[in-house]
């Protein structure tokens, strides 16, 4: 349908027709949809013609029911695309309406590389709600940073608008090759004592950017914390890193068990910021770790013995193969016989095969048949050899064969010879020690075939080799048919009495000669005893043990030893007696005599002498003890009587000596430093007998050596009767005021002289302290400031000055008092007395006295002020009391005289 203006049905009037009348123009500015022209007529203001009526003719409808053309925006504000995608497709959508055609333009807003200047237009027909912008992408093979392109919608058509009109396109570089991650292999096997297993995670086909993967252990037949330590974590591959290690601790135990498994898994593959082309993971994402038990002890195999010896009539020899140091699992070993001098098939039957030791089996036997014949022949031998030891299925730690026991030798002894046995003819012999020699026979019994050898030796039992017999050893050779041989033993004679003594003759190492078989070694008697009887007696001699004895008289008793030397056989006797010399019988000792009897083996007896103690000091005295009339008992021979010491001298030393002991005369001394020297008395108390000595020395304390005193040391010798000695020490004087200082004088090493006894060293502490009093103090002296004072009685008080002269060191005190003369107490002055204390450095103190004023006219009166009893403070020395007369006279002048004057009276008009 076409209207009179030439507009098609529903066409916008402004586009196809002439300008609208003012009323139409006004209408178009107000309405939200196009104005259709129909037959040149418009709907009234506020209405529009219905566009597509479902029935009947079109009607005018209110403008608030008009459909909207909508507004334009980007479907989303951002979009990322790989540069190799060919093109980027960006959607622009029409929202909130689709009525009538609309359009807008788009463009790239900034300089974005090859996309700079891109511009275009989008048209939306009626009802169309979306359009796309296609941007061709430029791809290259160079790894570049990502490119950001910003697009803008602009110039929308009149009937629409634009919201969210800015879009960010990110073109991602697709030339990054971060690679992929996987485990190095699917299977790992480790012994359980390995400590830990290290599994590599590898990065293949690239190393760009950061990749991450988590890992964990998963128990299978192996148990967590029992067979392995469970582990989880994350591996981070930084750019360029291609390998990482997962370490799992393996738990070693001592329990035998089958192989056990656990898994190591990779999961949760992620990449770091900016990483693309990540294919997440490879194909090996799980690895099985098999823990092989190392507690199996299959042991080692060896032949039980290195050799066997059998007779040829034995029939069978069993050779044992043993399993040692373990019994776990199945193990195998092959064996075979190898001939040496014995011939296979003639002397033994060949054997070969394999022994299989099942779990727990420790021994297997190889049975070899021995072939017997009737031919006399030498020993023959063959070997059994083990080889090719192998473990059975599942057996580990098998160490094969023991190196020294792979071969054993079987020696076949001929049983057709009878060489007999060897033995001693008798089991005992008894001879006197002067016999010279004894012959001991060795006999062969039970056969005489072949040559046999035996060794022999003598061995002392109670008999002493080289003193009682000549030791001998050697070999006896019995040739074929010989039946007896002799061993000759030399017996030595001596002159010592001794008991019955014995020695032994031994047979040892019986050896068959070459080719000898069936030799059975010894018969019943392999050892014989030779008894040697003595023909000597040595009763010995008697003498004193010592030629002299020294004792104190207070000893009480003295034991004097008599000894038996050069023998102790039989009974012998000796008499003894005391003989006075300077010692007096029954005053210094008690006389004794008697007899000592020495029985067999007795070698010492004592004579006991009583010593008498008294309180008299006397010189050393002595007496003798003598041995006389030595004799022997019945059947005793060779007794030689007394030895060289038949007399012993007993010296008695007096113990009534009182040498005394040392002490200082005084424990301490105080001296002024001007003293020059100080004498320290050392006295001997409680006795003065004999000579005694004592050393002395000075020891500095607060006093300094050579500055306060001169050090000295020496020794004092007190002869008999001397009781006092002086130690003289020089004191050093200086001009420095200082505190009291001290040093010690010590006594040491007291020593008694020759013959001095009962010395008791020190009576008291052997140390004296010397204090040096400083004499450089100047405490000064006192005097009254003036010798006299003249005052009027109306003065009220008078101050008398007391001054300290010639020094101010230390504290000083002085007392004072008033003494009336012509002045009367309490009528002319108030009496005072007291004490002035002058501290260190104080030089003046005042005495204040009250003067009494009266109205009586009188003459001048006086009283005295006296200083007395000056006392130094603690530690003050060199005090010189008063310098001058310590008295001042105070004269009180009367103020009651009155002079009268005549006053002129003047009268006033």
Can you give the pLDDT at residue 500?
85
User: Which value, to the nearest 10 degrees, does the dihedral of the CA atoms of residues 489, 495, 496, 497 take?
Assistant: 90
Contact criterion met (CB below 8 Å) for 302 and 387: no
**What pTM value is reported for the model?**
0.33
Q: Which DSSP helix (H) or strand (E) runs through 704? A: none
User: Where are the strands (E) in 115-157, listed by range?
Assistant: 119-124, 130-136, 147-154
* CA dihedral angle for residue 412, residue 416, residue 417, residue 420, rounded to 10 degrees: 100
Buried-exposed string 825-837: b where 16+ CB fall within 10 A, e elsewhere:
eeebbeeeeeebe
CB 744 within 8 A of CB 766: no
Of residues 158, 42, 166, 53, the one with CA closest to residue 109? 166
Write down the residue that tokens 């080889």 correspond to.
387
| Range list of H helices, 710-781 | none
| Count of C-beta atoms within a 10 Å radius of residue 839 | 10
Structure tokens at 273: 């910021």
C-alpha of 585 from chain center: 76
Q: What is the DSSP pairing of strand 428-432 with strand 527-533?
A: parallel
Find the helix or strand (DSSP H, E) in which 22 lies: helix 22-30
| C-beta separation of 294 from 252 below 8 A | yes
Contact 320, 365 (CB under 8 A): yes
Q: What SS3 class is residue 712?
A: coil
Considering only CA atoms, give the Rg of the chain.
71
Confidence at residue 198, expressed as pLDDT on a 0 to 100 scale: 96
Residue 788 bridge partners (DSSP):
889
pLDDT at position 245: 96
Phi, psi of 29 (to 5 degrees): -70, -20
d(CA 756, CA 684) in angstroms, rounded, equals 14
How confident is the model at residue 26, as a pLDDT? 40
φ, ψ of residue 63 in degrees (nearest 5):
-60, -30
Contact in structure between 307 and 411 (CB atoms under 8 Å): yes
Domains of the chain: 1-67 (2.10.25.10), 72-172 (2.60.40.2030), 180-292 (2.60.40.2030), 300-413 (2.60.40.2030), 421-433+446-465+473-533 (2.60.40.2030), 541-652 (2.60.40.2030), 661-773 (2.60.40.2030), 781-893 (2.60.40.2030)
Q: pLDDT value at position 906?
A: 31
Strand partners, 685: 661
- Return the ∠ at Cα 527 (arms to 526 and 528), rounded to 5°: 135
pLDDT for the residue numbered 908: 30
φ/ψ region of 360 (left if φ > 0, alpha if ψ in -120 to 50, else beta) reads left
For the chain, which residues score pLDDT lower than 70? 1-67, 112, 279-280, 517, 883, 897-909
Residue partners of 400: CB distance under 8 A and separation at least 6? 300, 301, 389
Beta pairing class for 166-172 and 78-82: parallel
Distance CA 300, CA 325 (A): 7
The answer to whether the CB of 210 falls within 8 A of the CB of 237 is yes
List, in sequence order, every residue forming a beta bridge with 421; answer none if it has no partner. Answer: 445
State the pLDDT at residue 57: 58
Half-sphere exposure of 580 (CA within 13 A, CB side): 10
The full 3-state SS of 569-604, as one line of letters, equals CCCEEEEEEEEECCCCECCCECCCEEEEEECCCCCE
Asked if 246 and 215 touch (Cβ cutoff 8 Å), the reply is yes
- Cβ atoms 335, 385 nearer than 8 A: yes
pLDDT at position 342, please? 93
pLDDT at 416: 73
Block residue for tokens 């300089």:
111
Q: Quote the tokens at residue 50.
A: 């219905």
Strand-by-strand arrangement of the 437-445 sheet: 421-424, 437-445, 484-490
For 60, the token pair is 């005018």
- CA of 562: how far to CAs of 597, 626, 630, 790, in Å? 11, 11, 12, 113
Residue 432: what pLDDT?
83
User: What is the C-alpha to C-alpha distance for residues 535 and 499, in angstroms, rounded to an integer?
Assistant: 10
Copy the structure tokens of residue 767: 């140390």
**Rounded distance, CA 131 to CA 139, Å?**
25
- How many other CB atoms are there within 10 angstroms of residue 599's CB atom? 10
Query: Within 13 Å of residue 73, how many CA atoms lie on the same side as its CB?
Result: 11
Give the C-alpha separation, 191 to 33, whole Å: 87
Q: What is the pLDDT of residues 417-438, one digit of tens each?
A: 788 899 999 999 999 888 999 9
Measured between alpha carbons, how far is 359 from 355 in angstroms, rounded to an integer?
Answer: 13
| CA–CA dist 624, 596 (Å, integer) | 17
According to DSSP, the residues that pair with 550 across neighbouring strands are 651
């Amino acid at each position: 349908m076409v209207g009179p203006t030439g507009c098609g049905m529903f066409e916008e009037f402004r586009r196809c027709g002439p300008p609208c009348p003012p009323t139409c123009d006004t209408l178009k500015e107000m309405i939200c949809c196009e104005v259709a022209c129909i037959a040149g007529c418009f709907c009234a203001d506020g209405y529009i013609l219905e566009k597509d009526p479902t029935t009947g003719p079109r009607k005018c409808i209110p403008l608030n029911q008009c459909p909207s053309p909508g507004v334009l925006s980007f479907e989303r504000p951002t979009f990322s695309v790989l540069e190799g995608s060919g093109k980027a497709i960006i959607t622009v959508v029409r929202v909130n309406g689709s009525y009538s055609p609309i359009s807008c333009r788009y463009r790239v807003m900034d300089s974005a590389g090859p996309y700079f200047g891109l511009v275009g237009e989008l048209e939306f027909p009626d009802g169309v709600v979306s359009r796309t912008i296609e941007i061709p992408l430029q791809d290259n093979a160079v790894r570049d940073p990502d490119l950001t392109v910003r697009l803008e919608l602009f110039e929308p058509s009149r009937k629409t608008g634009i919201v969210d009109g800015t879009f960010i396109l990110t073109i991602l570089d697709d030339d990054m090759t971060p690679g992929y991650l996987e485990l190095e292999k699917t299977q790992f096997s480790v012994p359980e004592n390995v400590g830990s297993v290290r599994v590599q995670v590898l990065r293949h086909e690239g190393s760009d950017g950061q990749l991450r993967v988590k890992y964990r252990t998963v128990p299978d037949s192996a148990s967590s914390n029992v067979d392995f330590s469970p582990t989880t974590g994350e591996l981070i591959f930084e750019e360029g890193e291609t390998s990482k290690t997962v370490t799992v601790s393996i738990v070693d135990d001592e329990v035998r068990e089958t192989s056990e498994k656990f898994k190591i898994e990779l999961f949760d593959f992620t990449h770091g910021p900016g990483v693309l082309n990540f294919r997440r993971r490879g194909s090996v994402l799980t690895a099985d770790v098999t823990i092989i038990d190392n507690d199996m002890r299959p042991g080692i195999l060896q032949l039980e013995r290195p050799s066997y010896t059998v007779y040829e009539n034995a029939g069978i020899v069993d050779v044992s193969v043993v399993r040692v140091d373990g019994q776990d699992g199945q193990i195998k070993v092959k064996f075979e016989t190898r001939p040496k001098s014995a011939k296979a098939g003639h002397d033994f039957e060949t054997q070969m095969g394999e022994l299989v030791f099942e779990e727990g089996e420790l021994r297997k036997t190889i049975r070899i048949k021995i072939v017997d014949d009737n031919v006399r022949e030498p020993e023959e031998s063959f070997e059994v050899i083990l080889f090719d030891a192998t473990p059975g299925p599942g057996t580990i730690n098998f160490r094969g064969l023991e190196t020294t026991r792979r071969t054993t030798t079987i020696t076949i002894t001929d049983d057709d010879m009878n060489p007999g046995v060897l033995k001693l003819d008798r089991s005992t012999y008894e001879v006197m020690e002067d016999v010279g020699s004894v012959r001991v026979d060795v006999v062969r019994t039970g056969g005489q075939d072949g040559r046999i050898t035996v060794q022999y030796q003598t061995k002392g039992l109670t008999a002493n080799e080289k003193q009682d017999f000549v030791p001998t050893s050697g070999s006896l050779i019995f040739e074929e048919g010989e039946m007896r041989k002799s061993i000759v033993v030399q017996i030595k004679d001596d002159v010592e009495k001794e008991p019955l003594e014995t020695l032994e003759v031994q047979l040892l190492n019986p050896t068959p000669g070459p080719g000898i078989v069936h030799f059975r070694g010894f018969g019943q008697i392999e050892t014989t005893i030779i008894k040697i009887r003595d023909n000597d007696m040595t009763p010995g001699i008697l003498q004193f043990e010592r030629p002299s004895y020294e004792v104190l008289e207070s000893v009480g008793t003295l034991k004097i030893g008599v000894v038996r030397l050069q023998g102790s056989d039989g009974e012998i006797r000796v008499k003894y007696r005391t003989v006075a010399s300077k010692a007096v019988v029954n005053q210094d000792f008690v006389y004794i005599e008697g007899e000592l009897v020495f029985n067999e083996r007795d070698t010492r007896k004592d004579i006991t002498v009583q010593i008498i103690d008294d309180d008299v000091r006397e010189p050393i005295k002595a007496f003798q003890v003598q041995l006389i009339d030595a004799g022997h008992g019945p059947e005793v021979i060779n007794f030689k009587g007394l030895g060289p010491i038949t007399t012993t001298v007993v010296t008695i030393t007096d113990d009534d000596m009182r040498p005394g002991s040392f002490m200082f005369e005084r424990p301490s001394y105080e001296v002024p430093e001007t003293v020059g020297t100080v004498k320290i008395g050392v006295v001997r108390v409680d006795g003065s007998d004999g000579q005694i000595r004592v050393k002395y020395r000075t020891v500095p304390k607060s006093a300094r050596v050579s500055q306060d005193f001169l050090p000295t040391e020496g020794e004092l010798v007190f002869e008999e009767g001397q009781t006092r000695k002086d130690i003289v020490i020089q004191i050093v004087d200086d001009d420095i005021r200082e505190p009291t200082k001290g040093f010690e004088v010590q006594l040491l090493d007291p020593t008694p002289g020759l013959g001095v006894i009962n010395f008791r060293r020190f009576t008291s502490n052997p140390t004296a302290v010397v204090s040096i009093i400083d004499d450089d103090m100047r405490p000064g002296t006192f005097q009254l400031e003036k010798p006299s004072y003249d005052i009027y009685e109306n003065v009220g008080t008078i101050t008398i000055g007391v001054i300290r002269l010639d020094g101010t060191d230390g504290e000083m005190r002085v007392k004072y008092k008033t003494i009336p003369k012509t002045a009367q107490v309490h009528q002319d002055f108030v009496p005072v007395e007291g004490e002035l204390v002058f501290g260190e450095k104080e030089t003046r103190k005042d005495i204040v006295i009250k003067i009494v004023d009266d109205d009586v006219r009188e003459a001048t009166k006086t009283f005295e002020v006296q200083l007395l009893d000056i006392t130094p403070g603690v530690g003050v020395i060199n005090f010189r009391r008063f310098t001058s007369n310590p008295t001042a006279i105070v004269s009180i002048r009367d103020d009651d005289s009155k002079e009268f004057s005549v006053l002129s009276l003047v009268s006033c008009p």
